[in-house]
């Protein structure tokens, strides 16, 4: 049986990646419609190796004949059109922050909490988590099951592609400009991003955290464990693709390094790369385009009882966005939630 799909935001970075991922994984699609807001209607986008889709406008589109819509056009478009699609009988997977913390909207990482998808029946909307939440949830799930994490401290290094094509363009322009002594001004980020680190992702809150740092613990508690204590520092780094995190975890129960490695190796969606030698660990440049969350440098944290530290990396456009959305759709099919 084939499903009728729509991809909203098809001309954007994540929208194009969703189309690419659907084709690569042979999702059972009978028909695919590319949609976009604003003036993008009439453009063309690729779907697979030999299909080109002409983009249609979102505003007047009738979702009544669509089984599933992927929304990747921002919170405003999701707020305006996702409920309209759901009311027409179309299931929605939304990549924006708009619905993530609403209690009757499942927030899903398939390797972690696929069973929660059944909660979509009420509103027919599922939220795709933030890329940093997906990275940490996949890496922490097997360790949490083995030792029960009670406190997590994470330093999250976020690639500029997390800010969209404009963020990638700014890094490229600044890097080139510095070499020719024509550095362009910072527009997408609060400071120069080329050859720099910026300890600010999104806007500051009253308590001194940024929106990204405030959101991460909330999403992790919804996905992994409502009692999890987590504090994060989020950095924007001069990397085009690939979020990474240095993580320390205090567990309730003793968890030996050997047992932790075994749990990670057996977990779905994780690739372990940890050779105790120079270069024997994952980095963003190596994992761009890959589907897995890569984990390395796991070691004992001697400062707390039952403590471990590790490093994890994932492609924020694939597993951190498009792939996770497509995996959610695959789970919907497996659980017969689209029938």
pLDDT block averages, 10 residues each, the chain of length 339? 93 94 95 87 85 92 96 95 96 97 97 96 95 98 97 98 94 93 88 96 96 97 97 98 98 96 97 82 94 96 96 97 98 93
CA distance 262 to 269: 14
- Do 16 and 113 belong to one domain? yes
- Do 311 and 239 belong to one domain? yes
Q: Quick one: pLDDT at residue 135?
A: 98
Q: Quick one: pLDDT at residue 40?
A: 64
- Do 183 and 291 belong to one domain? yes
Q: Quick one: pLDDT at residue 323?
A: 97
Q: 156: number of CA atoms within 13 Å, CB side?
A: 32
- Do 283 and 210 belong to one domain? yes
Alpha helices in the chain (DSSP H): 13-24, 75-87, 110-113, 131-147, 165-179, 211-223, 257-266, 284-287, 323-334
Look at the chain and report how many structural domains it folds into: 2
- Do 51 and 142 belong to one domain? no
Query: For residue 296, what are the β-bridge partners?
Result: 311
Residue 96 placed within a domain: yes
Q: Where are the beta strands (DSSP E) in the chain?
A: 3-8, 29-36, 44-47, 51-54, 56-57, 68-71, 91-94, 125-127, 149-158, 229-236, 243-251, 270-272, 293-301, 307-314
Cβ(149)–Cβ(250) below 8 Å: yes
- Do 81 and 140 belong to one domain? no
C-alpha separations of 262 from 257, 267, 271 in Å: 9, 9, 12
Q: Quick one: pLDDT at residue 42?
A: 77
pTM score, whole prediction: 0.95
- Do 122 and 175 belong to one domain? no
Q: Quick one: pLDDT at residue 60?
A: 87
Please calculate the CA angle 26-60-6 and round it to the nearest 5 degrees. Answer: 10
CA distance 288 to 177: 25
- Do 311 and 327 belong to one domain? no
What Rg, from alpha-carbon coordinates, does the chain have?
A: 20
- Do 136 and 124 belong to one domain? no
Residue whose C-alpha is closest to residue 162's, from 245, 280, 241: 241
CA distance 308 to 328: 30
Give the range of the structural domain holding residue 222, as residue numbers without chain letter: 132-316
Backbone φ and ψ for 89, nearest 5 degrees, come out as 95, 5
Q: Quick one: pLDDT at residue 82?
A: 97
- Do 310 and 327 belong to one domain? no
- Do 330 and 311 belong to one domain? no
- Do 79 and 58 belong to one domain? yes
Residue whose C-alpha is closest to residue 31's, from 6, 60, 8, 56: 6
Query: For residue 270, what are the β-bridge partners?
Result: 293
């Amino acid at each position: 049986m084939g499903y009728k799909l729509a991809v909203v935001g098809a001309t954007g970075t994540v929208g194009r990646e969703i189309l690419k991922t659907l084709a690569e994984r042979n999702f059972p699609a009978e028909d695919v419609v590319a949609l976009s807001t604003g003036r993008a209607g009439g453009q063309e986008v690729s779907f697979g190796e030999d299909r080109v889709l002409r983009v249609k406008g979102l505003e007047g589109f009738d979702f009544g004949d669509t089984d599933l819509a992927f929304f990747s056009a921002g919170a405003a478009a999701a707020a305006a059109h996702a409920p309209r699609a759901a009311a027409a009988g179309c299931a929605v997977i939304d990549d924006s922050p708009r619905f993530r913390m609403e209690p009757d909207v499942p927030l899903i990482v398939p390797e972690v909490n696929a069973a929660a998808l059944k909660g979509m029946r009420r509103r027919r909307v599922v939220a795709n988590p933030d890329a940093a939440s997906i990275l940490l949830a996949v890496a922490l799930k097997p360790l949490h099951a083995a030792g029960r994490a009670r406190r997590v401290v994470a330093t999250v290094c976020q690639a500029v592609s997390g800010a969209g094509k404009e963020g990638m363009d700014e890094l490229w322009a600044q890097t080139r400009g510095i070499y020719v002594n024509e550095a362009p001004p910072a527009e997408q980020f609060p400071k120069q991003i080329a050859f720099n680190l910026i300890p600010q992702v999104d806007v500051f809150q009253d308590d001194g955290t940024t929106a990204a740092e405030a959101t991460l613990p909330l999403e992790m508690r919804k996905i992994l464990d409502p009692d999890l204590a987590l504090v994060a520092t989020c950095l924007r780094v001069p990397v085009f693709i690939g979020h990474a995190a240095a993580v320390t975890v205090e567990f309730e129960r003793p968890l030996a390094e050997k047992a932790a490695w075994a749990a990670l190796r057996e977990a779905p969606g994780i690739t372990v790369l940890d050779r105790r030698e120079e270069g024997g660990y994952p980095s963003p440049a190596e994992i761009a385009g890959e589907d897995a969350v890569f984990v390395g440098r796991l070691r004992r944290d001697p400062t707390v009882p039952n403590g471990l530290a590790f490093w994890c990396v994932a492609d924020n456009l694939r597993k951190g966005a498009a792939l996770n959305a497509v995996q959610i759709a695959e789970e919907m099919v497996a659980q017969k939630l689209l029938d």
